[in-house]
Amino acid sequence: MKVYQFFHLILRARAEIHSTTRVKKQKKELMMKTTLIILFNLGLICTSCIARGDGQDIEIRLPEKLMPKLTDEENIRLQKDREYNQLVLQASKDLPYRRPDEFDCVFYSFGQLVKLCDAILIVKVVDVEEIKSKSIADRFQPKLQFKVDVTSNLVGKLEQKDVLPVIRWWDRKEIPKKGGKLLVFIASEEYSPGVIDALKWNFDKTKMQGKALDKQVVMGESRGVIDLVNKTTEEEILKTVTGYAQNLRQRNWDAEKYYAFLRQLSASPYKRIKDDAISDMFLFLRFDPPVDLKRVLEDKDVDDGIKNYVRLILYPQIKP
């Protein structure tokens, strides 16, 4: 049995759990929890398989009595879903941050960091200490405590003036050394319950408060720590952050200006700036496109990966 058939079986079982009136409440809740666990783990399997893009299905062997009996209509719908999912994979293959180990970068691009943070700081590293742990995972993604000297507050402030919140270092191997200069994004709220709204380019942080955290955190952990390795890099990074703030934090959203800003950044020689701008352009166009998509397709300054996604997925959805 294929993954999509198994997934359909689980969904049908979930529906039956909801509809039955003969199952006792405690048993019903237990079955529901079990279903959710299966769905979660299946999601991990599917994500892994899709990310590898090997074009093969995973065979799942179940007892014959548990095999789903799908109607012709259900089989047709499932086939269409599979074809659409393959199209999405093809359309997004040239966009940045598509691998499972880097997909979180979409949520911590410069656009997302600037839009949702509560403080932006420039700090000088005074000391770096790795928090000892017996966890195998921590050997590959160490937890670090930075003692710092805050040299500039662009937005907000640090609760502990000389110590950053503990950071899990996951997105790169190079760890800043003593004397290094960093740009750090700090958050006092998190927006996971309203993540779809928070991804939209015109999200208004002043109107939709997130869930207050017990203490400040570095947004995206190491993803929210930018190395300012030299004066030229620092100037480019600060110019980029200032531009994002002008477009996303001043409550005078202008789609044309933001579109032009992202087009410019997507040609940056700095990989982090370029990849984040393309990712932010994807989010900008993905939710209720504020600009004409045909114009995007004809724009020579728009990244080819964006054009591919617009041409195959977004444009057909609105084309008469």
Q: Which domains does the chain have, with CATH numbers?
A: 3-92 (no CATH), 103-318 (2.40.50.120)
28-56 pLDDT, tens digit each: 444 444 444 444 444 433 433 333 334 44
Average pLDDT in the chain: 82
Check residue 58 and give its pLDDT.
57
Cα(284)–Cα(293) distance, integer angstroms: 11
184 sits in which H/E element? strand 181-190
Question: What does each C-alpha distance from 255 to 101, 285, 291, 304 come to in angstroms?
Answer: 31, 10, 7, 20
Check residue 28 and give its pLDDT.
46
Whole-prediction pTM: 0.77
Give the total residue count for the chain.
320
Judged against a pLDDT cut of 60, whether residue 176 lies above it is answered with: yes
277-306 pLDDT, tens digit each: 999 999 999 987 889 999 999 999 999 999
**Is residue 20 very low, low, confident or very high in pLDDT (cuts 50, 70, 90)?**
very low
Cα(284)–Cα(289) distance, integer angstroms: 7
**Is residue 64 very low, low, confident or very high in pLDDT (cuts 50, 70, 90)?**
low
Check residue 53 and give its pLDDT.
39
Q: Regarding predicted confidence, which is higher, 2 or 67?
A: 67
Average pLDDT over residues 90-97: 91
